């Protein structure tokens, strides 16, 4: 055999291996799976990844590594997830803000929804409109009346600029024709602490960060921001039931693969995740943080993201929410 033949045969062999590779998805997963989290440890996306990851390991006997890639409004983690090889070994756990708010908020955003193959929605965390317990406000009607009397003077704290919490606040303001003064904090915990300490009268918080302060008697929950009351606190009325039309938002997470991941792999992941999210002990662990599990199909997730992105982008634009 001369050199050329060897080279040809080698190339052919390599090509064959590449061609055959999709068939290997029968044996997926054959090496550790990474779940990228575009946030620092401790957030809901991180916790969700760790719970689901541990169960995937149990089911498939392959290690699942949760890799936190925080920073840049989640750009870093989301971009890494979009650019990873589409082989099902690198997944991304995103939150609703990353896929439904960021595209409206930033002109130069390095990733788009089409970059991903949706697997499933994972968890759903209700948000609440809370007031400091020492304030006289007992219902959303009280808030609206006070805001009408002094437009732009009532301060509302949120976990940050461009957070879903801020969008909800602006949504409510738009639909009722009033204005609030937005006070952004660096995350949910400082915002909850400031509200409990009485620095600000109102806050839009995750129910999990509000709950301990409510128990301590420092906060009062005036409404949940979803269309349905929270399963864990059915006594909290919704915004809609108190005359704020249309507003329906919560902080949910979703699991993504890079676009082009073989359908069998995405389906296998989806089926397994659905099984995991239905397990009683998994539900219980999420419920500990006031969070529900919400399994779905990839198509349902796709529709949900598109609908939410469309709704929220209108608010971002109308309320002139800016981040850069």
Binding site for other proteins (CB under 8 A): 34, 40-43, 46, 65-73, 75-76, 79, 110, 153, 155, 160-162, 181, 183-187, 189-190, 193-194, 196-200, 212, 216, 322-324
The minimum distance between CB 169 and other proteins, in angstroms, equals 15
Tell me whether residue 28 or residue 185 sits nearer to other proteins (CB atom): 185
Tell me whether residue 162 or residue 298 sits nearer to other proteins (CB atom): 162
Cα distances (Å, whole numbers) of residue 192 to 174, 195, 288: 24, 5, 18
Residue 14 half-sphere exposure, CB side, CA atoms within 13 Å? 6
Instruction: Kindly state the tokens that stand for 232.
Output: 């864990």
Of residues 102, 103, 69, the one with CA closest to residue 83 = 69
The minimum distance between CB 163 and other proteins, in angstroms, equals 10
The minimum distance between CB 62 and other proteins, in angstroms, equals 14
The minimum distance between CB 228 and other proteins, in angstroms, equals 28
Instruction: Kindly state the tokens that stand for 28.
Output: 């997926």
Tell me whether residue 53 or residue 126 sits nearer to other proteins (CB atom): 53
Tell me whether residue 271 or residue 323 sits nearer to other proteins (CB atom): 323
Tell me whether residue 173 or residue 301 sits nearer to other proteins (CB atom): 173
The answer to whether the CB of 203 falls within 8 A of the CB of 172 is no
The minimum distance between CB 82 and other proteins, in angstroms, equals 13
- Tokens 């002094």 belong to residue: 150
């Amino acid at each position: 055999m001369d050199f050329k033949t060897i080279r040809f045969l080698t190339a052919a062999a390599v090509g064959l291996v590449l061609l055959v590779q999709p068939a290997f998805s029968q044996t997926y997963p054959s090496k550790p799976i990474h779940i990228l989290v575009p946030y620092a440890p401790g957030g809901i996306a991180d916790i969700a990844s760790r719970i689901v990851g541990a169960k995937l390991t149990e089911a498939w006997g392959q290690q699942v590594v949760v890799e936190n890639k925080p920073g840049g409004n989640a750009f870093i983690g989301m971009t890494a997830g979009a650019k990873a090889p589409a082989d099902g070994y690198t997944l991304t756990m995103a939150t609703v803000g990353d896929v439904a708010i960021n595209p409206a908020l930033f002109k130069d955003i390095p990733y788009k929804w089409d970059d991903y193959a949706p697997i499933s929605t994972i968890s759903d965390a209700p948000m609440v409109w809370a007031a400091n317990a020492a304030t006289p406000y007992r219902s959303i009607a009280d808030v609206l009346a006070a805001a009408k009397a002094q437009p732009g003077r009532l301060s509302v704290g949120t976990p940050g600029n461009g957070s879903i919490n801020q969008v909800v606040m602006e949504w409510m303001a738009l639909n009722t024709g009033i204005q609030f003064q937005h006070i952004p904090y660096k995350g949910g915990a400082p915002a909850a602490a400031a509200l409990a300490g009485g620095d600000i009268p109102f806050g839009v918080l995750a129910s999990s960060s509000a709950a301990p302060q409510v128990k301590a008697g420092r906060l009062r929950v005036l409404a949940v921001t979803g269309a349905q009351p929270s399963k864990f606190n059915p006594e909290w009325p919704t915004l809609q039931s108190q005359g704020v039309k249309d507003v329906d938002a919560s902080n949910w997470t979703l699991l993504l693969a890079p676009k082009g991941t073989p359908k069998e792999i995405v389906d296998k992941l989806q089926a397994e995740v659905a099984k995991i999210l239905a397990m009683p002990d998994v539900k219980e662990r999420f419920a500990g943080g006031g969070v529900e599990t919400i399994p779905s199909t990839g198509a349902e997730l796709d529709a949900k993201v598109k609908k939410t992105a469309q709704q929220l982008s209108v608010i971002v634009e109308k309320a002139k929410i800016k981040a850069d």
